Structure 1
Amino acid sequence: MTAVDVARGVSRLLLRHDYVALCEVPLGNGRRADLMAVDARGRIIIVEIKCSRADLLGDGKWRDYLDYCDRFFWAVPQGFDLSPFETEAFSPDFAGLIVADRYDAAIAREAAETSVPAPRRKAATLDFARRAARRLLGLTDPECESLG
């Protein structure tokens, strides 16, 4: 299973919870979230997708996402060894866990809720909306990228 499959399943789960997700969203600190989702109230979820144990254990950047979301989740494919998520290194106190396939996903552990500061939330939400609109425009008019 690939990260694209996991992203699809997680996006479906989030949509059922009134969150709309985008893949590969750059953040203000130079990092790129695998998935970022926003709900109608402006709450932000970031999901970091891991498809291999080596990728998970080598990830030292995930804490850089925490200042840009109200909730943070790991997402892994079905059959993934979940034991690393029980260690302090991957903070079960606040990081949630989602298990997914390409058709659906389930929350294995809820994420703690924090609050993104209002100015950062506004900037992230506007960037999210503009990025989504640009991607949609690119589908209907592939030449538009050369105009902007």
Structure 2
Amino acid sequence: MDDTSRLQPGQRLQRGVARFLRDLGHASLLEFVPAPGLRVDVISISPKGEIWIVECKSCRADFTGDRKWQGYLEWSDRYYWACDTAFPAELLPEDTGMMLGDAYGAEIVRESPLTPLAGARRNRLTRDIARTAALRLQTAIDPMGVLQSGPGGR
């Protein structure tokens, strides 16, 4: 049995969303920075190459305090909110997607409209997602290697 008690509510949602997306064939990355000043909770690449962003909201204050979410729309083909069943869903904009979830999974309860990214932005974003994922994996495998080589692998 895994222990999720050490995770914050938003982290539990992130985990469940990432599991759900993996079941759909997506490759997900948590806490990704698509542009300076922005950090999305979950970004994924679908089997078709679509970029999805999912923002996880654990309570009303978490949502009302988020002033940057509209800036995320230009970095995805589909945009979703993820919350649990206790969240006041009427707060979420109706022109965005919605997922319900917990630490173990999620489901889409409102489909996100498709707003395709421009080709150049998609290419750059896909490359940045791949580089970030590869560097995180390398750091997990060899944490001391980061200290030895420094930024840029010197």
Q: TM (normalized to structure 1)?
A: 0.90
Cα distance between partner residues in 1 of 2:55 and 2:73: 11
AA paired with 1:32? R
2:52 is the counterpart of 1:45: yes
Shift of 1:77: 2.0
AA paired with 2:79? F
- Cα RMSD between the aligned structures? 1.3
The percentage of aligned residue pairs carrying the same residue is 37
- Give matches, 1:1-148, under 5 Å: 2-85=9-92, 90=93, 92-93=94-95, 95-146=96-147, 147=149, 148=153
- Of stretches 23-32 and 104-113 in structure 1, the one that deviates more from structure 2 is 23-32
Q: TM (normalized to structure 2)?
A: 0.87
AA paired with 1:26? V
Cα distance between partner residues in 1 of 2:141 and 2:36: 31
Structure 1's consecutive aligned runs of 4 or more residues displaced over 3 angstroms after TM superposition are: none
Larger CA Rg, structure 1 vs 2: 2
Partner secondary structure for residue 27 of structure 1: coil
Deviations 1:60-84 (CA, angstroms, capped at 9, x unpaired): 2111001110000011123212121
Q: Which runs of 5+ in 1 are unaligned?
A: none
The alignment covers a number of residue pairs equal to 142
Deviations 1:108-136 (CA, angstroms, capped at 9, x unpaired): 11100011111110010001001111111
Shift of 1:58: 2.3
